[in-house]
Structure 1
Amino acid sequence: MTDFDPIYSMVSAKAIKGLIESNYALAGLASCRLLQRGLNDVYLVSSTSGERYVFRLSHHRVRGPADVKSETDFLIHVSKLGVPVATPIPTIGCELFLQVHAPEGRREGVLFQAVDGREPHAGDVGDAHANGRTLALLHNAAETYIPNAPLYKLDLEHLLYRPLARIRSSGVIEDPSVLDELEQIAERTGAAIKLSANLSWTYCHGDCHGFNSKITEAGEAVFFDFDDGGPGYLAYDLAVFLWAQVSFGRETTRAWTSFLDGYRLIRPVTSDDFEAALRFVVVRHVWLMGEHASRIEEWGSNNVRWPLRRLSCSLQSTLRPASISRTPSAF
């Protein structure tokens, strides 16, 4: 008999339902179904009374284990200050997360109350405004939060240089000229950001691209999916939304303007952070390419090669934010 070293296992919805029933004080769970698999596996759980919950089982990633301790601690802090976020539900033992022993090793699970509301609409200025406002509330609340030994910092090493190294080592980009151009763009971008001495630092959502939220009937954006968050550049947190508006040939900069308007209703954006956000769009793109490159062992090189080529080809579109108005009125 040969022993194998698994890198990913799929936990059945039935097993997740039993896990929740054993570890949480929830009565009458009626169903559990897989919503999606990807960087995490996400399940929708429903009770007989109509309550809905979301259980997220963290995935093994090249960067290391999921930082659920910092994430859940931060969510409790900001929710107490009125920031609309999906909050974790404590276990019977009053823990905000639990550990699952899967064949590939330990995986962390968090149960959330499902967020009510509709999906945001791409390019919708009202939804963008709501997202900007909630992000500003989040950053305000982060000013009174003291991170408790977070595992990751959203700095250039984490967001740019290590992802770039993963792309290089993956071998998926076979054209040396394409790889050289990518590395040159990344190096220039990182060097320019380093020259900005007055960039703000905060606890970031980390993935505020506009769709990690639900829009309530009152028009409020409720945030979820904080597992890419951590202490980091405020400009990066802004840039993720801009990246979503200008990458892959999109040109929905009106939504970016509305997002900033919503943000500035709550707190100002310094000129240094605004300028850096334009550059962090490229950083975000390289980060995503690095995430794909790190999945070769699980997804296979053929499945990674196509999206990575698409990301590489779309890199020029991520440079367009440089043309966005820098007039004083924008601040």
Structure 2
Amino acid sequence: MNNSVPITYSIIDKQYLLQIVQNRYAVGNLINIQFHIRSLNDSYLIKTNENRYILRVYRKWQSWDDVGFEVDWIAYLNHQNIKTTQLIPQKDGTLFFSIDAPEGHRSLALFLYVENISHRPLTKSTAYTSGLALAQLHQASLPFKSQYNRFSLEQSHLIDEPLKGIDRWYQQTSLKEQLPIIHQYALRAKKCLNSLTKNPQEYGPCHGDTHFGNVLFTEQNEAIWMDFECCGMGWWVYDLACFYWALKIKWAGWSIEYQDPDDIIWQAFIDGYQSIRSIDQHQWQVFPDFVIARGIWALGLHPNNIDDWTTQTMDDSGDFFLKHLELFKTLSS
């Protein structure tokens, strides 16, 4: 679409989206649609006379292949009876499509809204169940192959691109003198990642964002990992590192109640995971570097999305930055 004014991000008219869903999906009579969540992508809540659905409108940073891989994997997990969000195919059987938005092509996919699930306080019990569910997801994904080539959770995505955002933003702040230290830790993590082989028992599709906001629980206390927008091929130890990182950073935006000490929660999570999949000594050796890689990705996330999210999402106090430095120091001691 040609525009005289360059556009980086647009909000699609919800009635237009409702009409698209009506034309493309056999979901019954549509009642209404609401803009539900604005994050890395846009999510709309749709109500019909029978069910509720989430329409994901992906941002332009995710290519056709990026989205194709994600929905391909989710459809595979649905077929394997792994508890997660359920992808809804279109009338023609395809899983996603694109529209020509002002800023360029944006992909869309429809998911069944998962009812009767909720966040729970983080305890020994919920941590164990979360670890077990993640191991089941990894184990079931061993044979998974996709025709789509999504970005991988390796050096470029986890370290190089985030560092650009970190440098660009923090050079303007009082924390700029700390940037060389961040780069030292980044170099350490890069050396580790580049030394690894892609052993099929250790490397495969990763969730990529296994923090507490993305795991919900059924009324039967089963854990369900949601929100695969950060997924990609990578070493599965990265998903473990993401959980550990979240436990140590405790970002306030998750609104999670921590009812047990960190050590109890972490051990329970690992026990749950290892009830399905073992973690060998080599994975534990590289684990600290994956936590560092996750931290660098997180530090670069907001600076690299300022144009969409605005500077109000940045931590002016510097606490988020300094907390990561302290975590990196602890991991290196």
Shared fold, TM over 0.5: yes
Contact 2:182 2:325 in 1 (8 A): no
Aligned equivalents of 1:311, 1:64: Cα separation in 2: 30
Q: Secondary structure at the match of 2:34?
A: strand
Q: Is the Cα contact below 8 Å between 2:185 and 2:328 reproduced in 1? A: no
- Aligned counterparts of 2:316 and 2:246: Cα–Cα separation in 1: 16
Match of 1:253 in 2: 263
1:299 Cα deviation (Å)? 3.5
What is the number of equivalent residue pairs in this alignment? 320
Residues 15-62 of structure 1: CA deviation (Å, up to 9, x unaligned)? 32222111101112222112111211111112223x11111111123x
Q: Secondary structure at the match of 2:318?
A: helix
Give the unaligned 5+ runs of structure 1. 325-331
Write the distance in 1 (CA, Å) between the matches of 2:309 and 2:216. Answer: 29
Q: Does 1:263 align with 2:262?
A: no
- Are 1:138 and 2:137 matched, yes or no? yes
The CA deviation at 1:308 is 8.9
The question of whether the paired residues in 2 share the 8 Å contact of 1:23 and 1:91 is answered with yes
Greater shift, 146-155 or 94-103, is seen at 146-155
Counterpart of 2:7 in structure 1 is 6
Question: 1:164 aligns to what?
Answer: 163
C-alpha distance 137-321 of structure 1, shift in aligned 2 (>3 A): farther
Report 1:1-331 matches (<5 A).
3-49=4-50, 51-61=51-61, 67-170=66-169, 173-174=172-173, 175-195=175-195, 200-248=202-250, 252-300=262-310, 302-303=311-312, 305-306=314-315, 309-319=318-328, 322=331
Q: Which amino acid aligns with 1:271?
A: Q
Secondary structure at the residue paired with 2:88? coil
Instruction: Evaluate the alpha carbon distance shift between residue 304 and residue 211 of structure 1 in structure 2; reply closer, same or farther with a 3 A threshold.
Output: closer
Partner SS for 2:22: helix
Change in 2 beyond 3 A, CA 1:148/1:171:
same
8 Å CA contact 1:204, 1:229 repeated in 2: yes
2: CA distance, partners of 1:163 / 1:248? 20
Q: Structure 1 residues 71, 196: CA separation in 2 closer, same or farther (over 3 Å shift)?
A: closer
d(CA) in 2 for partners of 1:64, 1:98: 12
**Alpha carbons of structure 1 residues 47 and 307: separation in structure 2 relative to 1, 3 Å:** farther
Question: 2:315 is matched by which residue type in structure 1?
Answer: W
| TM-score, with length taken from structure 1 | 0.87
- The alignment's C-alpha RMSD in Å is 2.6
Instruction: Give the residue type in structure 1 aligned to 2:320.
Output: L
Measured after TM superposition, the shift of residue 321 of structure 1 is 6.4
Query: Partner letter of residue 164 of structure 2?
Result: A
Cα 1:226/1:178, change in 2 over 3 Å: same
CA positional deviation for 1:218: 1.7
272-281 vs 27-36, which moves further: 272-281
Aligned amino acid, residue 48 of structure 2: S
- 1:168: how far off? 2.0
Q: Percent identity?
A: 26
- Kindly tell me: are residues 99 and 194 of structure 1, through their superposed partners in 2, closer, same or farther at Cα, counting changes over 3 Å? closer
What amino acid does structure 2 have at the position aligned with 1:318? L
Shift of 1:240: 0.8
**In structure 1, distance between residues paired with 2:23 and 2:90:** 9
Note closer, same or farther for the CA distance 1:198–1:15 as it changes in structure 2 (3 Å cut). Answer: closer
Shift of 1:297: 2.6
- CA deviation map 1:263-292 (0-9, x unaligned): 111111112223323321221111122221
